[in-house]
Homo-oligomer: A and B are copies of this chain.
């Protein structure tokens, strides 16, 4: 099968087929899909010199920007061993990549795509699939229902560990600030909190359970509400580190000392939380390891292997620093 005959079958010019084979831009999505299908159907072997580009592409939503650098480090450490570059795209808060991005990726033909909490539609997955570009989800938000291989962290267990730590210190009035209810990771952390409270026989006061975005501002606003209660909590388990820092600020405003007057626990272990005042007790997501694992799966898929597991959850770890103490 020659380029010319594929072109004839596809009803396009030979240079267009050449562009598809060589991973260059300037071919409409539909045309590219048609040509890729014909190449596969006729078992066209690309010459070694024009195999997939030696790059792993990582796509982030803005949501993950604070986590991004750790994830990139992990991906890069594995990619380098395999002589692959690591590509970076940030979608500025959109959950699904736009047509323009997809078109560019199909043209570049990376070895694989790692989507960090990015929702690809089945149609978009189909386009990547028709170009033999494997897709792996790296999902610190914990969505387990991926149709594609995915890597996450044990959010529920992290919620249990953080809550037990506060219970062990003697806290009973523990507030829980959650993330957006639509995020399964937020739900998993909250469920872990409830499980630990229940198994310790500690009552969960509904007025101490609040939901917000995974942002400093939400931690600040909800922290103010919680600290203004007549019977305020002695500890707050925040949904993530940014919320925890918002609670710090609310405590400062209220003239309360962390941890003497209020214990605070975060989630994620962003690097800078160890530099906060006081250094934050938090639950570590092994972001670099998650990136490395996603890269390994992506590279295996690109080599035509099937991953042993389609869903991997790496362990979270409680990191005790200086923001937690027994209640007064």
A interface with B by C-beta (< 8 Å): 18-19, 21-22, 24-25, 47-51, 53-55, 57, 65-66, 68-69, 72-73, 76, 80, 83, 85-90, 100-101, 104-105, 107-108, 110, 216, 242, 245-246, 248-249, 252, 270-272, 274-278
Pairwise interchain contact A88-B89, C-beta atoms closer than 8 A? no
Residue from the set A86, A87, A107, A248 with the largest chain B CB neighbour count within 10 Å: A87
Pair B80/A245 contact, Cβ less than 8 Å = no
Compute how far the CA of A239 lies from the CA of B272 in the bound complex, rounded to whole angstroms. 17
Q: Is the Cβ of B48 less than 8 Å from the Cβ of A76? A: no
CA distance A270 to B275 in the complex (A): 13
Taking A87-B87, A216-B275, A245-B272 as known contacts, 4 extra A-B pairs with beta carbons closer than 8 A to each other, sorted by chain A number, are: A57-B85, A66-B272, A86-B87, A245-B276
Give the shortest distance, in Å, between A307 (CB) and chain B (any CB): 24
Q: Are A85 and B68 in contact (CB under 8 A)?
A: no
Q: A55–B108 contact, CB under 8 A? A: yes
Residues of B within 8 A of A270 (CB): 272
A292 to chain B, nearest CB (A): 13
Q: Which residues of B contact A49 (CB under 8 A)?
A: 18-19, 21-22, 24, 50
Q: Supply 19 A–B pairs (Cβ within 8 Å), ascending by A.
A: A18-B49, A24-B54, A25-B54, A49-B50, A50-B50, A54-B104, A55-B87, A55-B108, A68-B69, A68-B72, A69-B69, A72-B90, A85-B87, A85-B105, A86-B87, A86-B88, A246-B275, A248-B277, A249-B277
**A122 and B20 alpha carbons, distance in the complex (Å):** 37
Contact yes or no, B83 A107, CB < 8 A: yes
* Closest CB in chain B relative to A275 CB, distance in Å: 4
Top 6 closest pairs, chain A to chain B, by CB: A22-B49, A85-B87, A245-B275, A272-B272, A86-B88, A216-B275
Give the residues in chain B near A249, CB-CB below 8 Å: 275, 277
Q: Residue on B with the closest CB to A72?
A: B88
A275 x B19 contact (CB < 8 A): no
- Bound complex: CA A246 to CA B275 (Å): 7
* Residue with the highest number of chain B CB atoms closer than 10 Å, among A50, A72, A88: A88
A90 near B104 (CB under 8 angstroms)?
Answer: no
A129 to chain B, nearest CB (A): 20
Q: How far is the CA of A120 from the CA of B57 in the complex (A)?
A: 26
Residues of B within 8 A of A248 (CB): 277
A277 touches B275 (CB 8 A): no
Q: When chains A and B are docked, how far (Å) is the Cα of A101 from the Cα of B69?
A: 20
Q: Which residues of B contact A104 (CB under 8 A)?
A: 54, 80, 83, 85
